[in-house]
């Protein structure tokens, strides 16, 4: 697979997240620069020449994929140039409910949604605030909006055949005893894969 860093900003403020632009770190949320959608086509072409076994194009950041139009526009270009490649994307899900049709229309086959809690009180301990339609919502108020949109978005895309995987960042003292409830809730919403990521 090849990952394309085309998403500049994020619309939520997770307390544990640290996004960065540099050449030294190799972890989620870090790239040495953010590409414009049109810059990805020659890059993918070159990558396929070097590694023709590439089958998947993924977009996962460094910001959120739905916080701007960059990811969806990139996938439209990829689909036109390389229709044989599988398209997958990751999102925090804040805008998933309202952009579900776009996600489906550009041909996303696998979507990963990070859901760290389904209880707003717990989510507020993991996420300081969200930026939603031009307004800042902090604490529990923001957490409620985020969780509602995540679950509604998962329902919408899964009903249309998109394979949904949910990631949960496990912070033992905060959501460690909440994992089973998250798993049950996202399964009921339509997720079929569940991945627990321990916080390092």
Top-confidence residue, 96 or 18: 96
In tens, the pLDDT along 116-129 reads: 999 999 999 999 99
Grade residue 14 by pLDDT with cuts at 50, 70 and 90: confident
Question: What's the confidence (pLDDT) of residue 27?
Answer: 46
% of residues, the chain, pLDDT over 90: 86
Question: What's the confidence (pLDDT) of residue 71?
Answer: 97
Looking up tokens 């036109």 gives 80
CB 36 within 8 A of CB 6: yes
Selection from 158, 159, 132, 156 nearest residue 144 by Cα: 132
Cα–Cα distance measured from residue 103 to residue 185, given in angstroms and rounded to the nearest whole number: 22
Question: What's the confidence (pLDDT) of residue 130?
Answer: 95
- Residue 100, both tokens: 């579900």
Question: What's the confidence (pLDDT) of residue 26?
Answer: 52
pLDDT over threshold 50, residue 45: yes
- Residue 97, both tokens: 């409910």
State pTM to two decimals: 0.91
| pLDDT, mean of residues 194-198 | 96
pLDDT over threshold 60, residue 185: yes
In tens, the pLDDT along 109-155 reads: 999 999 999 999 999 999 999 999 999 999 999 999 999 999 999 99
Helix axes 139-159, 96-105, angle to 10 degrees: 30
Question: What's the confidence (pLDDT) of residue 15?
Answer: 80
Grade residue 22 by pLDDT with cuts at 50, 70 and 90: very low
| pLDDT, mean of residues 102-109 | 96
| pLDDT, mean of residues 12-32 | 62
Average pLDDT, the chain: 92
pLDDT over threshold 90, residue 61: no
Cα–Cα distance measured from residue 138 to residue 127, given in angstroms and rounded to the nearest whole number: 8
């Amino acid at each position: 697979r090849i990952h394309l860093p085309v998403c500049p900003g994020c619309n939520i403020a997770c307390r544990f997240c640290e996004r960065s632009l540099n050449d030294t770190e190799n972890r989620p949320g870090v790239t040495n620069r953010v590409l414009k959608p049109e810059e990805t086509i020659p890059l993918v072409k070159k990558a396929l020449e070097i590694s023709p076994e590439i089958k998947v194009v993924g977009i996962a950041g460094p910001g959120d994929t739905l916080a701007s139009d960059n990811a969806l526009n990139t996938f439209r270009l990829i689909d036109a140039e390389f229709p044989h490649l599988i398209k997958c994307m990751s999102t925090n899900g804040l805008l998933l409910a309202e952009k579900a049709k776009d996600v489906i229309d550009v041909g996303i086959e696998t979507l990963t949604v990070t859901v760290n809690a389904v209880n707003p009180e717990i989510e507020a301990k993991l996420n300081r605030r969200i930026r939603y339609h031009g307004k800042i919502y902090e604490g529990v108020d923001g957490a409620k909006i985020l969780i509602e949109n995540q679950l509604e978005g998962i329902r919408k895309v899964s009903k249309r055949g998109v394979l949904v995987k949910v990631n949960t960042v496990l912070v033992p003292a905060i959501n460690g005893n909440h994992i089973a409830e998250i798993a049950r809730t996202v399964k009921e919403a339509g997720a079929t894969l569940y991945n627990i990521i321990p916080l390092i």
